[in-house]
Amino acid sequence: MSDSESENEQRLTLEDLEGSDAEMLSGDEDGPMDILTQQRVTINNEPALKRLREQIALPTNIPWSETQSITSAQAINVTDPDDDLNREVAFYNQALEAAVLGRDRIRKEGGVFERPSDYFAEMIKTDDHMAKIRQRLLDENASIEASERAKSQRELKKFGKKVQTEKRLEREKSKADALDKITALKKKRQGNDNSTNADDDFDVALASDDDEMKSYKTGDGESKKRSSSSTQESRGKRHKKDQKFGFGGKKRFGKSNDANSSADVSGFSVKRNKSTSFKSGHKAHKAGGAKGGAAKQRPGKGRRQNGAGRK
Amino acid sequence: MSTVFKQQKSKRDKAEGIVAKTTEDTPIFRNKQRVLLLSSRGITSRHRHLLSDLGDLLPHTKKDAKLDSKSKLHIINELAELNNCNNCIFFEVRKRQDLYMWLSKTPNGPSVKFHIQNVHTMEELKMTGNCLKGSRHILSFDKNFESSPHWLLMKELFTQVFGIPKTARRIKPFVDHVISFSIVDNRIWFRNYQITEKPLEHRSVTDTTDLTLVEIGPRFVMNPIRVFDGSFGGQTAFENPEFVSPNVARANVRNSKAGRYKSRMEAIAKKDEKIKDAEMPEDPLSESNVFA
């Protein structure tokens, strides 16, 4: 069943074509063959294709509803086949156009297009499958919402933290400023203690209407440091503790003698040394907490630790 | 079998003098198409699902058992004759990887062989549409199908194989889906959409129509390889020059990987030769010769 322009094998070289008519081999759309290179001849037997089509074609006078096929008005022209979005949009538009035209033609030819809502029949996808699809959509929506909520919470936290730190810094700054003002004024006052200054009576700086200054003047609020409840006792205790635990100074050899302490004979009284009746025994000491002798009794541990008196 | 019975019956009737009824003077053409769905052995699950999806979509099909041989495809013609089918879709699977689809008009009509890629079956959960099983769909063809005779022939084949005739048994009324064929990158893309009417609330200003499409599936891409004169054989009427067999494609990938090692070895050999060539004869005025 070979037609006049039917083709032959692929991979012909020029030597094979020596004897034959080169024009007979122009099955390709692009002209005569390249003389120099070996070229693959592919087959595109257009008359045969036309004949085959006419052989199988349905008659043209049948009503459209037999085949229900619609050809689009515009050819699809997608530049990049890997560009999924544009390609699918093109397919969608083509199908949509066909659906609209098809509906019109069906209605014109008297057929029924829409499925009424109470028509129940077997569908291509089972109800279970549709339930799975629906579940998947719901899960997707839920996860999107959850992630959005988490994101907004994170943002709020960051924002809240920022506001908190800003406020704290502001408060500390104002406190430092107020203290500076007070110490400056104190210094000024001390310097001008002898001279009577008429300005003191008016005391402009301290009498300002600043809120911070007010709080420091009246002594209420958070400033416990400036309270006047520092007694002799608490000052001594603080001093002792600073000596023991504060910075600087020797702490390790506090109980051993150094040059000054061994040379210190202030705790020795000749009279006391000679007066005790039973020198070696300790019955006199044990007898009572009464003071035996002019020298002062060593204070108890508590008083010693709290720094009562000197050392 | 039924055609054989009918033939014998009409012969007997004629012999007995019974005149066959003539309902009308001019015969009304009835589009009678029946499609045989087959596959070869070694088909994978995805391709099997695709075949069954096609069987669900097209109510004028008949599924048949797997074909043993891959070389003697002409027996499919006899199978189709047995099943009273005048079309055939045959899935040939090679190496349990590559799917080839044969579409043919069985007794002696033309046939086309495609290479199928990018298969997504109806089961995939991303395709949310649904339609009646067996409703007659609208076929939508790209205008590119009218550009060349081979595309026109394929369009005619699709119309007869994928278009449901009115005389099929398992059809349902109403039209609720549309099947589209488009040509992009010299391949045919198959899509199946459900047609729904948008309710008034969801309509926006930019919509031209009240219809929306939701994809039902399946979806695949057909790459035409050859068009044959006869059914499952015969002379080639069209050959796709851009078709690269998947075996060749895989071999190319592997060779390119091997090519790196080869080129490196060649470069080393060349370098050795170059060094050897660059050796010069002993210079009588060189240090070692003068101050021996």
pLDDT 10s digits, B98-138: 999 999 999 898 999 999 999 999 999 999 999 999 999 99
* Residues in chain A closer than 8 A to B145 (CB atoms): 71
Q: What mean pLDDT is reported for chain A?
A: 76
- Those residues with Cβ within 8 angstroms of residue A240's Cβ, 6 or more apart along the chain or in another chain: A305, A306, A307
- For the segment B71-86, what is each residue's pLDDT rounded down to a tens digit? 899 899 999 999 999 9
- Nearest neighbour of A49 by CB, restricted to B141, B183, B238: B238
Q: With contact defined as beta carbons under 8 Å apart, do B41 and B149 qualify?
A: no
Whether A18 has a pLDDT exceeding 60, the answer reads: no
Q: Where are the beta strands (DSSP E) in chain B?
A: 35-39, 61-63, 87-94, 98-105, 111-120, 138-141, 177-184, 187-197, 211-215, 219-230, 233-239
Is some CB atom of chain A closer than 8 A to the CB atom of B199?
Answer: no
pLDDT of A296: 64
**Residue B189 near chain A (CB below 8 Å):** yes
- Measured between alpha carbons, how far is B75 from B81 in angstroms, rounded to an integer? 10
Select the residue of A68, A76, A78 nearest B136 (Cβ to Cβ).
A68
Q: How far is CA B269 from the centre of its chain?
A: 49
> Which residues of chain A lie closer than 8 angstroms to B136, CB-CB?
68
Q: For residue A80, which residues of chain B lie inside 8 Å, CB to CB?
A: none
Contacts of A174 (CB under 8 A, 6+ apart): A212
State the amino acid at position B73 in one-letter form: L
The gap from C-alpha B270 to its chain's centroid, in whole angstroms, comes to 49
Average of per-residue pLDDT values in chain B: 89
C-alpha triplet A82, A84, A88: angle, nearest 5°? 125
CB of B139 less than 8 A from some CB of A: yes
Closest CB to A94: pick one of B150, B153, B182.
B182
Buried b (16+ CB within 10 A) or exposed e, B80-104: beebebbbbbbbbbeeeebbbbbbb
Nearest CA among A219, A217, A149 for reference residue A185? A217
Return the number of CB contacts < 8 Å for A and B.
198
Please tell me if residue B186 touches chain A, with a CB cutoff of 8 Å: no
Q: How far is B67 from chain A (nearest CA, A)?
A: 26
- For the stretch A221-269, pLDDT in tens is 444 455 556 677 778 888 888 887 888 766 787 788 888 888 888 888 8
**Cross-strand bridge partners of residue B214:** B194
CA distance to partner chain B, nearest, from residue A155 (Å): 33
Q: In whole angstroms, how far apart are CA B17 and each of A105, A206, B13, B20, B129?
A: 46, 137, 6, 9, 56
pLDDT for res B264: 93
Q: Which positions in chain B touch A59 (Cβ < 8 Å)?
A: 29
Distance of CA B87 to the CA centre of its chain: 14
Q: Give residue B91's pLDDT band: very low, low, confident or very high (50, 70, 90).
A: very high
User: A294: pLDDT confidence band, cut at 50, 70 and 90?
Assistant: very low
- Percent of the residues in chain B that have a pLDDT greater than 70, as a whole number: 91
Residue A159's alpha-carbon distances to A163, A167, A169, A246, B16, in angstroms, are: 6, 12, 16, 41, 101
- Nearest Cα neighbor of B71 from B103, B105, B40 is B40
Tell me the backbone φ, ψ of residue B140, rounded to 5 degrees. Answer: -120, 120
User: Does the beta-carbon distance from B132 to A121 stay under 8 Å?
Assistant: yes
Name the residue in chain B with its Cα closest to that of A9.
B236
pLDDT, residue A311, reads 53
d(CA A181, CA A212): 11
In whole angstroms, give the CA distance from residue A148 to residue A159.
Answer: 17
Q: How far is B110 from chain A (nearest CA, A)?
A: 7
Residue B229 and residue A52: Cβ atoms within 8 Å? yes
Nearest CA in chain B to A46: B149
Residue bearing the bigger pLDDT, A116 or A145: A145
pLDDT at position A201: 56
- The vertex-B291 CA angle with B286 and B292, nearest 5°, equals 100
* Residue range B3-25, pLDDT digits in tens: 677 677 666 665 554 444 444 55
Pick the residue from chain B with its C-alpha nearest to A132: B125
Least confident range from A18-27, B109-118, B147-156: namely A18-27
Using a CB-CB cut-off of 8 Å, the residues of chain A touching B195 are 99, 103
- Angstroms from A15 CA to nearest CA on chain B: 23
Angle at which helices A211-218 and A127-191 pack, to 10 degrees? 60
For chain B positions 71-130, those within 8 Å of chain A (CB to CB) are 105, 109-110, 122-123, 125, 128, 130
pLDDT digits (tens, 9 = 90+) for B185-226: 999 999 999 999 887 777 777 677 889 999 998 999 999 999
Residue B233 has pLDDT above 80, yes or no: yes
In the predicted structure, residue A44 carries a pLDDT above the cut 80: yes
Q: Report whether pLDDT(A22) > 70.
A: no
pLDDT of residue A278: 61
Please report which confidence band the pLDDT of residue A273 belongs to, taking 50, 70 and 90 as the band edges: confident
Mean pLDDT of B259-280: 93
Q: Which residue has the tokens 């001093």?
A: A239
| Average pLDDT over every residue of A42-68 | 89
Lowest mean pLDDT among A30-44, A238-252, B29-43, B89-103: A30-44
Handedness of CA A96, A98, A104, A106 (dihedral sign): negative
pLDDT at res. A298: 83
Place of tokens 């009417």: B197
Query: Considering only A104-113, B238-247, B257-266, which range has the smallest mean pLDDT?
Result: A104-113
3-state secondary structure of A12: strand
Per-residue confidence (pLDDT) for residue A8, from 0 to 100: 43
Q: Does B246 touch chain A (CB under 8 A)?
A: no
Question: Residue B26: what pLDDT?
Answer: 61
Taken in order A163, A165, A168, A170, the sign of the CA dihedral is negative
The residue among B54, B61, B120, B140 with the most chain A CBs within 10 A of its CB, best to mutate, is B140
Predicted confidence at residue A197, as pLDDT, reads: 53
Which residues of chain B make contact with A81, given a CB cutoff of 8 A?
184-185, 187
Decide if pLDDT at A137 tops 50. Answer: yes
Q: If you measure CA to CA, which chain B residue comes closest to A50?
A: B149
**Residue A6: predicted pLDDT:** 43
Cβ contact, residue pair B237, A81, below 8 Å: no
Residue in this structure with the two tokens 């051993």, named with its chain if needed: A256
> What is the predicted pLDDT for the residue at B10?
63
Which residues of B are less than 8 Å from A106 in CB distance? Answer: 175
Cα separation, B284 vs A189, whole angstroms = 105
